[in-house]
């Protein structure tokens, strides 16, 4: 397990303590821990140095230790990149929303135009039918009418 820790002062019997601040759960996720671990350090780190300590949890054995500066800088750069990308995506989403609203307004305007045009065409069709239609008597009724008139003439 990786821990962010600080090297403590050398004690009388040669051991140095590590003050543990947090442990890595996964990439870019660290959780706070409070604790001190007394471990034999044979490294060139001076007291107060921030380090990343690879410690076996079960046996509290230090596997390796490295200065944390480079890793902290990389992590902060990663956060900065994530922050920039978030801002870019937020801007893109705002632009998409604006575009969608404009398109929606345009579709509504076009729909209204089409409905108005359909009404005009319907009225034109009704007027055209009314102008060109004259009342007519179906041929079957005309024949019966003529027959009836002829039979009435003999009376």
Domain assignment present for 95: yes
Select from 2, 4, 1 the least CA-distant residue to 72. 4
The model's confidence at residue 139, banded by pLDDT at 50, 70 and 90, is: low
pLDDT at 70 over 70: yes
Same domain, 59 and 76: no
Provide, rounded to the nearest whole percent, the portion of the chain with pLDDT above 70: 78
% pLDDT > 90, the chain: 30
- Whether residue 54 is contained in a domain is answered as yes
CA 44 to chain CA centroid, nearest Å: 48
On whether both 50 and 92 belong to a single domain, the answer is no
Query: Residue written as tokens 């009342």?
Result: 135
CA 55 from centre of chain = 39
Task: State the average pLDDT over residues 15-24.
Answer: 84
Count of structural domains within the chain: 2
Residue 80, sorted as left (phi over 0), alpha (psi -120 to 50) or beta, turns out to be alpha
Range 144-155 average pLDDT: 54
Model pLDDT, residue 142: 59
pLDDT higher than threshold 60 for residue 111? yes
Domain assignment of residue 155, yes or no: no
């Amino acid at each position: 397990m990786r821990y962010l820790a600080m090297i403590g002062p050398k004690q009388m019997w040669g051991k140095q303590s590590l003050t543990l601040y947090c442990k890595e759960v996964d990439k870019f996720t660290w959780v706070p821990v409070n604790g001190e671990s007394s471990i034999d350090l044979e490294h060139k780190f001076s007291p107060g140095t921030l380090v990343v300590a690879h410690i076996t949890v079960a046996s509290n054995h230090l596997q390796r230790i490295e200065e944390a500066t480079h890793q902290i800088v990389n992590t902060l750069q990663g956060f900065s990149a994530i922050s920039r990308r978030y801002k870019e995506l937020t801007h893109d989403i705002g632009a998409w929303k604006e575009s969608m609203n404009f398109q929606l307004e345009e579709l509504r305007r076009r729909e209204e135009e089409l409905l108005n045009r359909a009404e005009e065409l319907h009225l034109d069709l009704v007027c055209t039918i009314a102008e060109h239609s004259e009342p007519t008597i179906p041929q079957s009724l005309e024949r019966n009418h003529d027959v009836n008139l002829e039979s009435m003439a003999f009376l």
